[in-house]
Structure 1
Amino acid sequence: MTDTIESAVSNATLQLQSSSDSAKLDAQVLLLDVLQKPRSYLFSWPEKKLTQQQQQLFESYCQRRLTGEPVAHITGTREFWSLPLQVNPTTLIPRPDTETLVEYALSLSLPEAAKVLDLGTGTGAIALALASEMPRWQITGVDRVADAVALANTNKQRLGFINVDFVQSDWFSQVTAQHFELIVSNPPYIEYDDIHLNQGDVRFEPFSALVADDDGMADIKYIITQARNFLTSNGYLLIEHGYQQSAKVRSFFAQMAYTNILTVKDLANNDRVTLAQWPE
């Protein structure tokens, strides 16, 4: 005997409440992946019964979620900036907070064919979101992990963008001698002893993409320091960081002689992105 769509979601929601703060949404997303249908299907066909194969697959998905495995890893996809991105355990799962960086980058006054660099691109989320909005921008995304670069290229090809390239590079190490009007990055910024590393989805994500020395500031400081050699006059550097790090980030920007330093809040009203300009 198989469940209807409505009862499948209801039963899974109860089951997942012990392991997820978003149990109903998780159940819906997992079932939609099983059904390969849009979200509206859940509400249009609540009494439609699952096939035996669909029931078994859905139950296996829910069991994986009960262990804490991220929904994005189970389905292999995550939407970011309305773009469906493939994800896997080699990179961070794109998060809504990072859309704050994309949104502010798009608000800047930049040349029509601006050159843009995305450091630590992972799935390619930031670079691809910018490419989707600014087809004349010339965007380069770099990551030191070869599997991440391969994943970003897969996402690029699936989306069909031609104004972005992905390169394997340890930060700036393989960036050719050119200057960029905009550099963006969501680098590792969590402290090694942060209790959140043992909670939720981050337990399944690459440690090296999350944590940094110097109370989470080491990579941020490196990027701010080295970006001065790669920014045009009045070029912008935007960095995502922890909500408690904004004062330290602004202070280091000032120490490195940047100007027009500003912190932007995310949708939860937390300090999330700090930007500055390299002066003429």
Structure 2
Amino acid sequence: MPPWMPEDTVAAAIREAAQRLAASSDTARLDAEVLMAHALGATRSELLLRHMGGPVPAGYEALVMRRIAHEPVAYIVGEQEFFGLPFAVSSDVLIPRGDSEVLVETALAARPRARRILDCGTGSGALLLAVLSQLPEAHGIGIDRSPGALAVARANAQSLGLAERTALVEADWHVPCWADALGGPFDLILANPPYVEDDAPLDRSVRAFEPAGALFSGPEGLDDYRILIPQLRGLLAPSGLALVEIGHAQADAVSAIGHAAGLSTQLYRDLANRPRVLGFW
């Protein structure tokens, strides 16, 4: 720190917070800066350019303590960027991950003229709203069994100016006739169902804070695929495509579920060349 900068400045508080966060975060400095920007009501760029020598806001320490307890930064600040768009998040929804952008990119490349889109397990609405943002003539339905998740998705549809083209419906593919009121068929189906094994070793920030119902799917992580995938054929238009996110070791098992249901499959990989999405038609 420059000798002219007092010890109680924003810069000093960020430095100290980063040191304390190092034991619980691999991105300690970034976390400290994002939390400070949030406490100041500023962007991170504004923080670095204008606020480093200023006084520390009163709420900063409480934010740092929450992160020390492994709470994800996205939940603390209430927002996560996905596909270049800002999404509100809460503990009712999974935090959108960059890896899931592969599904959005695949959807846009494979069905650029899609007009009717269904998102199964919409959560924050990230997949559906990201696709709709790029297809101005398309309309979408997002389903979720969680009323809390649907409330978050509705807020995101509104804030992104997509509410008029988005319907958000409480539905559960485990329940018979769940899709009867959706008015299919669909040109494009998106799904990021629960696919984590019940006893999978997960970071504390995930297992303790993200919604278990959106994560876990039986001892092999395949229970939801076994229920949802056989129902896809009845939801797809004749030239429709369903894109389903998978765990990195699940491509063969989930493909087999699709083949048993009479569906053709195609695998799509992420930027690290890991299996990430299966297409079904």
**TM-score scaled by length of structure 1:** 0.91
Shift of 1:200: 2.7
What is residue 88 of structure 2 aligned with on the other side?
A: 86
Alignment of 1:1-280 (within 5 A): 3-45=8-50, 47-51=52-56, 54=57, 56-111=58-113, 114-161=115-162, 162-171=164-173, 173-174=178-179, 175-196=181-202, 199-213=204-218, 215-259=220-264, 261-277=265-281
Q: What letter matches 1:145 in structure 2? A: S
Indicate the SS of the match to 2:220: helix
List 4+ stretches of structure 1 deviating above 6 A: none
C-alpha distance 41-176 of structure 1, shift in aligned 2 (>3 A) = closer
Shift of 1:2: 6.4
For these two proteins, the number of residue pairs brought into alignment is 271
Shift of 1:10: 1.7
Write the distance in 1 (CA, Å) between the matches of 2:213 and 2:280.
26
Write the distance in 2 (CA, Å) between the matches of 1:79 and 1:242.
22
Q: Deviations over 1:102-159 (max 9, x none)?
A: 1111111343x52000000011111111111111111110101111111111111112
Shift of 1:214: 5.2
Shift of 1:181: 0.8
C-alpha distance 7-269 of structure 1, shift in aligned 2 (>3 A) = farther
**Structure 1 alignment gaps of length 5 or more:** none
Q: Deviations over 1:24-80 (max 9, x none)?
A: 1111111111122222223323642124xx1x3111101110011111111111111
Write the distance in 1 (CA, Å) between the matches of 2:208 and 2:233.
34
Q: What letter matches 1:7 in structure 2? A: A
Q: What letter matches 2:171 in structure 1? A: S
1:6–1:42 Cα contact (<8 Å) kept: no
C-alpha distance 87-47 of structure 1, shift in aligned 2 (>3 A) = closer
Indicate the SS of the match to 1:234: strand
Q: Deviations over 1:232-259 (max 9, x none)?
A: 1121111111101011112222222222
Percent of aligned pairs with the same amino acid:
37
Q: What letter matches 1:183 in structure 2? A: I
**TM-score scaled by length of structure 2:** 0.91
Write the distance in 1 (CA, Å) between the matches of 2:19 and 2:273.
31
Write the distance in 2 (CA, Å) between the matches of 1:87 and 1:25.
19
2:198–2:219 Cα contact (<8 Å) kept: no
